[in-house]
Each structure stands twice: as C-alpha cells, then as structure tokens.
C-alpha cells in the first residue's frame, strides 16, 4: 500500500483507529472522512504519522455538497484515491414491528444510506481511474433480517444494494466494490475491558483490517460485487 491513498470514513469510531493503523503501517496515505475534529486530532496523535501522509478535513457525509467538496480536496492534495473504506454507520433496534419508531428510520437513513450514497458519488470516478477499491462493512441482517432489527436491516440492505450496483458499474475497469459482513465487532479495548466475555461470534477489528488490506491488493482484482462473511455462527 506504499503511496496508495486510502479514504476511511468513520475513522474515529470503535474500529476505525485499528483499521487506520493497519493501513498506515502498510504505507498508505490516509484521508479521514469524519465530522468530529476533536476525535480526529486524538486519532492523529495515536497514529503519529508525518503530515504529508494525512489529510484532515472534517466532513458530514450526510451533506452531499460538502462531501463533494471534501473529495475534491483529497484529490487536490494527493492527486488520486486508491481505496475507500466505509466504516461510518449506526444502529437502532426495536422490540417488535409495531414498536418501530419512524424517527429511528430518519437516523438510520442518514447514517447508513446517505453516507454511503454521498461518499460513493463523490469518489466513484476517482476509484475507476485508479483501478481502486470500495469496501463497506455491513451485516448479515441485510439478507436475513430479524424483527428486532427491521429498520437497521433495511438500511444496510440498501447500502449493500448501492455497493453491488457500483460493482456492476466497475466491471471491466479494474476497480472493485465489495462488502465485508460482520455480526458484531470486537476491539482491543473491548477485550481489555471485558476479557471473560464470549466474543466467538464477533469479528476482530484486526481481522477486518486484514481482509480489507487483502481486497486492496492486485491479486484480489477479480473479487468484485461480493459479500465476504467474517463472522462465526450465531
């Protein structure tokens, strides 16, 4: 990944720092699509990377015009985008179908669908030009919803549909778009805080990062429009 430009959305979330570190150690230049300046500054301190390998410009991916502006800034800084790792998102559940709150859908539509669509629109041409990679994290709920996760599953299904449509557009270009599905994510901090908890159905952030890193390699160029399960049996 030396000198490759990798966009990471939601980089200040629970799994973002580990994934950012893995790509940084592989030599990538990083552009963070995140709206929290304070957390971005904290992340920078932990990575300890030279300024010429980092692009910091807080952005709300729910704002389409601002997202386009942000992407133009990355291209102006680095001249290309080689990969987009989409981690941004959120969750809301419900006790039953009748219990569904419409306000929850507004939230999930923004964080799980708008962020994908706006970032995808802003980076698709650059990824095609660089034979790059779009990688998003999703859930098996997108294909196998339960009643307690109805709205979350619907939002993730839509995000997956957009990614598979992008993969279709990328056919023959050398660029790819794929999905990594996880039941839940366990971070190093979670293991340290609750070392006796059963994490057997969780995906470790380190494993997610390794899968993403592989998808960015030339030998993974034939993997396009796929859902890659990274979870144990529930």
The model's pLDDT over 141-166, given as tens digits with 9 standing for 90+, comes to 999 999 999 999 999 999 999 999 99
Residue 234: pLDDT over 60: no
Structure tokens at 136: 């998003």
**Alpha-carbon gap, residue 154 to 175, rounded angstroms:** 27
User: What average pLDDT does the structure give for the chain?
Assistant: 93
Higher pLDDT, 157 or 46: 157
Q: Is 100 left (phi over 0), alpha (psi -120 to 50) or beta?
A: beta
Identify each DSSP E strand in the chain by its residue range: 5-9, 29-33, 54-56, 83-86, 133-138, 176-181, 185-186, 203-204, 227-229
* Total tally of structural domains belonging to the chain: 1
Question: Band of the pLDDT at 114, cuts 50, 70, 90?
Answer: very high
The model's pLDDT over 90-113, given as tens digits with 9 standing for 90+, comes to 888 989 999 999 999 999 999 999
Residue 132: pLDDT over 90: yes
Over residues 29-45, the mean pLDDT reads: 91
pLDDT at res. 198:
84
Phi, psi torsion values for 8, nearest 5 degrees? -125, 115
Asked if the structure places residue 123 within a domain, the reply is yes
CA 111 to chain centre: 12
Residue 196's domain spans which residues?
5-229
**Alpha-carbon gap, residue 218 to 222, rounded angstroms:** 9
CATH number for the domain that contains residue 13: 3.40.50.720
Asked if the structure places residue 234 within a domain, the reply is no
């Amino acid at each position: 990944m030396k000198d490759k430009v990798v966009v990471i959305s939601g980089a200040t979330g629970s799994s973002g720092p580990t994934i950012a570190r893995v790509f940084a150690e592989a030599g990538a230049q990083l552009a963070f699509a995140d709206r929290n300046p304070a957390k971005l500054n904290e992340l920078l301190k932990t990575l300890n990377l030279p300024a010429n390998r980092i692009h910091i410009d807080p952005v709300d991916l729910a704002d389409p015009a601002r997202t386009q502006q942000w992407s133009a800034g990355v291209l102006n800084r680095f001249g290309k985008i080689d990969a987009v790792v989409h981690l941004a998102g959120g969750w809301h559940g419900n006790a039953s179908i009748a219990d569904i709150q419409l306000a929850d859908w507004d939230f999930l539509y923004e964080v799980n669908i708008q962020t994908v669509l706006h970032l995808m629109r802003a980076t698709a041409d650059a990824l095609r030009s660089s034979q790059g990679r779009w990688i998003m994290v999703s859930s098996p709920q997108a294909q196998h919803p339960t009643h307690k996760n109805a709205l979350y599953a619907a939002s993730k299904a839509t995000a997956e549909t957009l990614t598979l449509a992008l993969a279709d557009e990328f056919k023959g270009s050398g660029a790819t778009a794929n999905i990594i599905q996880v039941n839940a994510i366990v971070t190093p901090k979670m293991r340290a805080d609750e070392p006796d908890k059963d994490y057997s159905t969780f995906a470790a952030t380190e494993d997610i990062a390794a899968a993403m890193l592989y998808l960015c390699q030339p030998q993974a160029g034939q993997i396009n429009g796929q859902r890659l399960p990274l979870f144990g049996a529930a």
